[in-house]
Structure 1
Amino acid sequence: MGAQFIEAESESNLNDFGDFSPSPLYNDLIPNVDYSLPMHEIPLFLVQLTRFKCGGICLSLTMSHAVVDGTSGLHFFTEWARIARGEPLETMPIFDREVLRAGEPLGGPPCFDHSEFNDLPLLLGQLDSVEERKKKTTVAMLNLTKTQVDGIKKLANDGCNWNDKNGRVYTRYETLAGYIWRNACKAREHKHEQLTALSVCVDFRSRMKPPLAKGYFGNATMDVMAISLAGDLVTKPLGYASSRIREAIEKVKDEYVRSAFDCLKKQEDLRYYQNFHEIGNNEGPFYGNPNLGVVSWLTLPLHGLDFGWGKEVYMGPGTHDFDGDSLLLSSPNDDGSVVVAICLQEIHMKAFKKHFYEDIL
């Protein structure tokens, strides 16, 4: 199936959503994906346009991550808005499926140990993640000012020897992701010897040889794992967590990506690698407790998409209510502040908020 467009009307007003904090009210604004259908019957792209009683509207979008990543998704939204304003395309999409060797025969054995395709750490004493998947979760949107972001970055880079041999300071993502990882371990009260993994989503467009062309339309990201003992993350300087994340990111080069392709091509059944755990599937890697995923939307053009009606009142992620999922979003004011959207088990969220702010206030 291709695209599905849904038109809806609501008796609510935009003011009913307050500050747009996570709420069950959102559920009726977002297209519902019926995962019980065969894969080929699920639309690749769903749009819902909801008209409110006050005259306001909501445009909600859901896309298959197997087809596009964040960069391509925002490319599409930006060009769609441009066309809606009566303007021509700025960057033509490139639909080249040969550039990533999609149809080539298998090469030799994978050249790397791809930890991202292995089972992720489990809580000490547990043989599977079934019980952890059942626990109730909650979502929080946590705001960091530019001063706080700079403070966390300084905390990771000052007074430690974790920086690489070229002396490059840790990036905003490496420091914030490390900070979130560290405080999740504190909130979950992990023992020192508990292994924990942080999933890092890496855009490899510029890491291929040759780099993918501007406008390449598809999914050119891969998840890699930073792994550590929880005790090391908590007791060592923040720069240690950032160093584990940088080490994982820097593996992603042309050879590593192509080796990952070969590794996946050798699998008889790829369903294990589909991230359907958030809809109740007990199979596949579990990114929840004791693990975590931090995805950066910091460089995506999320704000100011003008479909002819002017700038949006609010833009934000839809439902992402599975344990361990988190996003970094830039401020709509472009003032250097950051919003951390995170989902954790309900029993851990209060402690996470406490640890999250106590080191920087």
Structure 2
Amino acid sequence: MKKNLDVRRRKQAKFNLDFAMCCLFLPPIERDRAEKKMGTVCQEPPPLIRDIKVTVHDTSLVFPADPIPNEPFFLSNIDKVLNFDVQTIHFFPAHVEFTPDRVAERLKDALARILVHYKFLSGRLRLDAMTRQLQIECNSEGVGFVVASSECGLDDIGDLVYPNPAFERLVTKSMDILQHDNQPLGIVQVTSFTCGGFAMGISANHATFDGLSFKMFLQNLAALAADKPLAVEPCNDRRLLAARSPPRVSFPHPERLKLNVPQGQDASRPLVFTDAPEELDFKIFKLSPKDIARLKEKAAKDAGGLDSSYPKARVTSFNVVTAHIWRCKALSSCTDADDGGSKSRSSTLLYAVDIRPRLEPPLPRGYTGNAVLTAYATATRGELEEWPLGRLVEMVTEGAGRMTDEYARSAIDWGEVNMGFPHGEVLVSSWWRLGFADVEYPWGRPRYSCPLVYRRKDIILLVPDMVTASQNGGDGVNVLVALPGPEMAKFQSLFHKSLT
């Protein structure tokens, strides 16, 4: 029985790590300089270093610089669903004034000071004995801090922008000096390279931050490391997203899958998602600013004019790219010999919407918790094949428009009544404009910021094109796709055909 439980826990851990990508940290990908005439490139895997030899020199805990009251810290229903760790890595070139050792000292001191403002981060996750609800005990037991070195130079470890499993050595996922049930909510690892550059690897429990609040945390950490005031004043009041009493689920929520958790099972980590092994091809599709402009022009022709059939369509870069990807992904599973049965099946698209400005009143700018919910759009594969791009853009627009204050509150209340997760055929996760690489530290901006990437066929990632952005060449985007071989071939064909 214990063996079966361990297998199920490993499967759930794999799902959690994959699901994290749709909610928080995803990698930017640099553009291959050799572009095809059409402007779109499908990047094949570059040569990757298979192992990065890393030596750990010091492992310690960092505690708040000032006392913090020991009290329970409330987590919203959105936070509770995201009880798993996410790892990100931020690469920095050598700096004449800041050696890796000096950076480590600055970061350690800044961490101690920032923990006073983020009182939950030095605590520990606990289940309330009475309510069985997940919360954080603000016991000031500290965050982890690791100092390490590598035998490689920064330029020796290959293409920073292509997801590489070897980067796992640059992040500490758990502290061996602590018990399994007493792990910190955050761990920072500074790894120096022989060239003088270094990597800052961060492992953080997703219940603590979403993408926007994590970037604010990095901005504040960078400010304190430079002995400056906080860039953004944190708002730690998660009760701003508490369920109503009594809960009022006022909308149907087809974008969520209700789970039946067996009695006695730890409801904070439901063990339901299987992860059957499957061989997946992995490709990066690059959309240049011209490609995106072409898609927008197509959609605008469908949606423009007084007699438009799709007046609700907002022809934005995100909406047209997401609509384009949705069509390609849904039709990639339809074979040429299909008898029509697969064309009648529905495809549900999921994508994240920031609810901060949509609530009444809006959340404070510095809200530190998870404030992202899942929007959806549903159509049959036949409809996705036949409808013009403008109609698909309208559906994506309507999905986000559905996310009003009342709808968001209904979704939060749904989580009070039910245990479940977002559910659909494909989730398009956009990290296009989060800007982790824009954070200005005393030693400069990162050369590149990325997470450890886990590949899933039902999650497609949108990440910024760093080269066109840095050269002011427009706002390009890279699309990271993992599919079985035959589906990938169909996806690639559809992806390029729609751009001609």
TM-score range, shorter chain: 0.7 to 0.9
Between 141-150 and 175-184, the greater mean CA deviation after superposition:
141-150
Contact kept? 1:138, 1:321, Cα under 8 Å = no
Matched with 2:464 is 330
TM-score computed with the length of structure 2 as normaliser: 0.60
1:14 aligns with 2:146: no
Structure 2 vs 1, CA of residues 345 and 57 (structure 1 numbering), >3 Å: closer, same or farther?
A: farther
Counterpart AA for 1:357: H
Partner residue of 1:303? Answer: 437
The residue aligned with 1:125 is none
SS in 2 for 1:60: strand
Taking a change above 3 Å as real, the CA distance of residues 244 and 93 of structure 1, as seen in their structure-2 partners, is: same
2:442 is the counterpart of 1:314? no
Deviates more, 1:155-164 or 1:227-236: 155-164
Cα shift at 1:308 = 2.0
Q: Which runs of 5+ in 1 are unaligned?
A: 121-127, 274-284
Whole-Å separation in 2 of the counterparts to 1:219 and 1:182: 29
Look up the match of 2:210.
Answer: 69
Farther-moved stretch of structure 1 (257-266 vs 139-148): 139-148
Q: Deviations over 1:142-195 (max 9, x none)?
A: 222111111112222223445335xx6322111111111111123222621121
Q: Is the 8 A contact 2:233 2:366 kept in 1?
A: yes
Asked whether the 8 Å contact 2:256–2:423 carries over to 1, the reply is no
Tell whether 2:365 aligns with 1:214: yes
Structure 2 gaps, min length 5: 1-123, 125-141, 260-271, 336-341
In structure 2, what is the equivalent of residue 115 of structure 1? 254
Sequence identity of aligned pairs in percent?
28
- Counterparts of 1:227 and 1:221, CA distance in 2: 20
1:53 matches 2:194? yes
2:238 is aligned with 1:97: yes
Alignment partners' CA distance in 1, 2:163 and 2:387: 33
Helix, strand or coil at the partner of 1:192: helix
Q: TM-score, normalised by structure 1?
A: 0.81
Shift of 1:70: 0.9
Moved more, 79-88 or 351-360: 351-360
1:211, distance to aligned residue in structure 2 (A)? 0.8
Alignment of 1:1-361 (within 5 A): 1=124, 3-20=143-160, 21-32=162-173, 41-102=182-243, 105-108=245-248, 110-118=249-257, 133-160=276-303, 161=308, 163-165=310-312, 169-189=314-334, 191-267=342-418, 270=419, 272-273=420-421, 291-332=425-466, 333=470, 335-360=474-499
Contact 2:150 2:193 in 1 (8 A): yes
Name the aligned partner's letter for residue 154 of structure 1. Answer: E
Q: Which whole-Å CA distance do the structure 1 matches of 2:481 and 2:218 have between them?
A: 24
Structure 2 counterpart of 1:216, one-letter code:
Y
Once residues 253 and 39 of structure 1 are traced to their aligned partners in structure 2, the CA distance between those partners, rounded to angstroms, is 40
1:98 alignment partner, SS class: helix
Distance in 1 between residues matched to 2:281 and 2:179, nearest whole Å = 29
Partner amino acid, structure 2, of 1:176: V
Q: CA RMSD in A?
A: 2.9
Letter aligned with residue 55 of structure 1? G
Structure number with larger C-alpha Rg: 2
Distance 2:430 2:147 in 1: 31
| Cα distance in 1, alignment partners of residues 372 and 326 from structure 2 | 21
Number of equivalenced pairs: 330
